Structure 1
């Protein structure tokens, strides 16, 4: 789920309410206007959030600079457009105080509400996406990493901990496969994450570090905080570092060939060198921090794209089958595994196919896999047809290889590029079985374009299916369509037959007198009776006055009873014909 999609669920209103602010401070002094063809700077200055959303979705760099060396957030703050500023912040705009751009935005803020937004955002950035959050928890599940970040949080460096560092522990622990020692201090990590994010680490793990569990750096100038912050960034796509350590980080980025991140750090260092605040000594540099969201990097350099490249290599290998040639093919797979991707450390056999995967990814994304991989020392269940020196193997039953492939695509990338509608029901079931519930939303996002051309009969099928598996996005979409086109649906036999499979309306009068929800309002996660919800959607679509809703709800229920009687008659006639 992108930050643009999740922005409605993340608010700072509670942080803003405790300020004594005049009414004039809430609205912008510069009127909002539309700039249909404007760039990101014009859209921010005008407060045109629709144009801004379009530009951000097309991949415009949120921290780009214009010819006056200003960023878009600066113009939104200067004009007092809080919605535009919030959208820029949620998409990676830098707002940290005591950085060049952050200070300019704080000083230029037109009103107190904008300044409060910047401070609240800096103290509590929006939640990480599921992939980044799960890998970050794995990183913090390692004792030494957790101990360092706990110490750093005391120094006011780590500010994005959604779960207290003290609460991180054994439940999120997955053993590291490499430990770095810098000046005697350890950093625990996993090879596949580092190799996916850095060509330097990839080359090292394929050559001189291939069989090493520990790597000790002897260079005295190597900064432990900078390296730990960079590796933490590899896992979380969020950089949090003391300003004092940024020069060391820039040197490490150069060695690790993290070019896009290096360029951002270099620019920030140049600006800091000439920034006004350098003359003020009321705050030591070690207390100043720089926060960068991964979304500020080009898409190909972010965590999902990096892991997607690793996944493509794994899926490109030949698949073993259970035919008479399985031994030969599995031996061939072993050679390919050694030569193409030595970082794959587990193979999963599903429906005659073998998938080469990485334990840390599976364990981080799914509690089911974390339990299996952490509690079993040796894997024998999938080795019946494989040579004894191959990778550890797992066998998964009662699902197709295509559904498993879609599941691991989501586990590695946090999304699905496309999906066959015929696979959706199986993947919904897989998401529940493997405790990977956010996968349902990814399937819904990929499925919605197909539903735009679906027939009423197909929509009835998806409505029942989404209600069964708790896929709220598809459920709401289908309910809205049925409510807005109710007369067309009641003419279809499939809709009438669907009514026989659903529980009857609850008859709760409180549902009938509830005021219509505001357009775009967040739906509660409590899933109600399907026909009760359809009644409410129909009442909202009819735009009836509140004092007429009781009478209209009774009419709707009477209509449903007539349709059920018709459906029962049609069913009995069909059975008689059979």
Structure 2
């Protein structure tokens, strides 16, 4: 939206506005590696404009710039100065740290890398790959078919064909799990061959387009060497296909109105569940890999669950855990979020989902709830919304509330509740000295003063600041 437009705008970078960049990254939670219509990232613009301090900040915060990749070489080639190039050369890969900002991608990456709760093992010319049949089935109809025919009942699958390259197979698995692929240029043909075998027309097209893009870039830039081909994930496709696992986990009687799959697809799409959650008497057939990997609450719950507990009658090997203090409607939102990193929230249920997300230790879902709540901010609820943001540690929502407060501060200062909030915020600071700042006041001041450029805007900002100062004087707070 507007934040992304501002983040990638040439004006932002040309003015070298460190405050705006840090605000967008730290408060607005904007994706550091977002690309604009010219396929350019914020790091590229910072390099292009020679903003050494910002380049350093973006790299430290998780911007991607691996050597010998298209994006990395482009940043290097476009850098305005040698000092920026040195920063890029000294860059140590922090892609894992970058992924941790986006916990769903990080989860999928670690699910593949560590293979926790894997239920199938591939042996490719002596190299072992742990995997999950549910993920591969959701992402590939070829694997769905193979698991039900040639590989049915097998936990170890030995792929002996001489043309299957282990590194290319690993890259294909990476694509299945994360939507991303990092491969050596020399392995492109092997990967394309495997993709064809797996009937992955989209991947073949992506590989061809990326190869063309890299070739055109390298041919026009003497001395540039791209050795690694990187395909970035298309989150919508990945989420849609992972959503199939949630669709299939829904009890039959609840499938109407939920999910994306027609009934016949659900019936012929086994997902190999290994845990059953019973909520309001409904059985949800799910996967430990997702619930434990995404939530420390469920990880502790399932690890502490004794094996002699209740078993599912239709699948005796599947344990049943009954969840209390949650309705099946809210659990459906939790489940879709766990599988897809997204869920449709409505004003009527968002607070209930937020409370459960907090209990189940799902910070990403809390942020999603915060985004939904932010759309409803108005003069009548902004104070309550700010308290909610503080309570659930939703920094972005808190910031959006103070931004809204700044707009209506002249009316807010007349409200006793607002004055009380300022006093409480001041009192909550441990060992606060009389003249120390108050976070709520500081944030409002910041938003009043930010982006003030015209004379009339300066006058208006001064009036607002004056109204705020008068309130502080009335309640005896000096900050």
Cα gap change, 1:4 to 1:183, in 2 (>3 Å)? farther
Distance in 1 between the 2:87 and 2:7 partners?
14
Q: 1:507 to 1:189 in 2, by over 3 A?
A: closer
CA separation in 2, counterparts of 1:507 and 1:377?
Answer: 43
Distance in 1 (CA, whole Å) between partners of 2:430 and 2:304 is 49
Aligned partners of 2:196 and 2:204 also within 8 Å:
yes
Question: Aligned pair 1:141/2:141, yes or no?
Answer: no
Residues 290 and 338 in structure 2, CA contact (< 8 A), matched pair in contact too: yes
1:149-298 matches, within 5 Å, as: 174-269=116-211, 288-294=227-233, 297=234
1:536 aligns with 2:478: no
Find the counterpart in structure 2 of residue 481 from structure 1: 404
Q: Give the match's secondary structure for 1:488.
A: helix
User: Given the alignment, which residue of 396, 413, 424 partners 2:323?
Assistant: 396
On the 8 A contact 2:139/2:241 being kept in 1, the answer is: yes
2:351 matches 1:425 = yes
Residue pair 1:131, 1:414 contacting (<8 A) in 2 also: yes
Give the drift of 1:113: 5.8
Residue 527 (structure 1) aligns with: none
- 1:559 corresponds, among 454, 474, 477, to 474
Aligned to 2:289: 360
Question: Structure 1 residues 353 and 101, CA, compared in 2 at 3 Å: closer, same or farther?
Answer: closer
Which residue of the partner structure matches residue 241 of structure 2? 306
**Which residues in structure 2 correspond to 1:96-135 (within 5 Å)?**
98=68, 106-107=76-77, 111-112=81-82, 115=85, 119=89, 123-125=93-95, 127-128=98-99, 129-135=102-108
Q: Secondary structure at the match of 1:429?
A: helix
1:270-311 deviation line (CA, Å, top 9, x unaligned): 67789669x99x99x9xx3333321xx4x543x323212332
Asked whether the equivalents of residues 227 and 252 of structure 1 are also in contact (C-alpha less than 8 Å), the reply is yes
Residue correspondence of structure 1 range 460-479 to structure 2 within 5 A:
460-479=383-402
Aligned to 1:315: 250
CA offsets per residue over residues 369-392 of structure 1, 9 Å max, x none? Answer: 223334546373475xx5564843
- How far does the alpha carbon of each residue in 1:307-333 deviate from its partner, in whole angstroms, 9 at most, with x for none? 12332343373249xxxxxxxxxxxxx
Kept in 1: contact 2:346–2:372 (CA 8 A): no
Distance 1:534 1:105, change over 3 A: closer
User: CA–CA distance in 2 between the matches of 1:104 and 1:554?
Assistant: 50
- C-alpha separation in 1, matches of 2:74 and 2:466: 58
Equivalent-residue separation in structure 2 for 1:379 and 1:468 (angstroms) = 39
Is it true that 1:370 corresponds to 2:312 in the alignment? no
Task: Choose which of 363, 366, 371 in structure 2 pairs with 1:440.
Answer: 366
Cα distance in 2, alignment partners of residues 412 and 5 from structure 1: 29
Quick one: distance in 1 between partners of 2:253 and 2:112? 32
Moved more, 114-123 or 303-312: 114-123
1:76-116 Cα distance to aligned partner (Å, 9 max, x none): 78993568x98x99xxx997655678657755655436645
Please tell me whether the aligned partners of residues 50 and 80 of structure 2 are also in contact (alpha carbons under 8 angstroms). no
Q: Distance in 1 between matches of 2:47 and 2:429?
A: 51
Please tell me whether the aligned partners of residues 131 and 412 of structure 1 are also in contact (alpha carbons under 8 angstroms). Answer: no
Distance in 2 of aligned mates of 1:474 and 1:108: 36
1:361 to partner: Cα distance:
1.0
Structure 1 residue runs of 5 or longer lacking an equivalent are 9-26, 33-52, 64-71, 143-173, 321-334, 515-531, 563-578
Task: Kindly provide the CA deviation profile for residues 224-279 of structure 1, in whole angstroms up to 9, marking residues without a partner as x.
Answer: 111112212332333222222222111111222333322232345567789669x9
Q: Which moved more, 1:237-246 or 1:105-114?
A: 105-114
Helix, strand or coil at the partner of 2:158: strand
* RMSD, aligned CA: 5.0
- Mapped to 1, the partners of 2:228 and 2:265 lie a distance apart of 45
Structure 2, gaps ≥5 residues long: 16-29, 256-263, 450-457, 460-464
- Asked whether the 8 Å contact 1:466–1:474 carries over to 2, the reply is yes
Describe the shift of the 1:460–1:337 C-alpha distance in structure 2 as closer, same or farther (beyond 3 A): same
Indicate yes or no: 2:279 matched with 1:345: no
CA distance in 2, matches of 1:78, 1:488: 40
How far does residue 463 in structure 1 lie from its aligned partner after superposition? 1.9
Cα distance in 2 between the residues matched to 1:103 and 1:133: 24
User: In the superposition, relative to structure 1, how do residues 208 and 374 fare at CA in structure 2: closer, same or farther (>3 Å)?
Assistant: farther
Structure 1 residues 559 and 99: CA distance shift in structure 2, 3 A: closer
Larger Rg: 1
TM-score of the aligned structures, taking structure 1 as reference length = 0.60
The total of aligned residue pairs comes to 427
SS of corresponding position for 1:450: coil
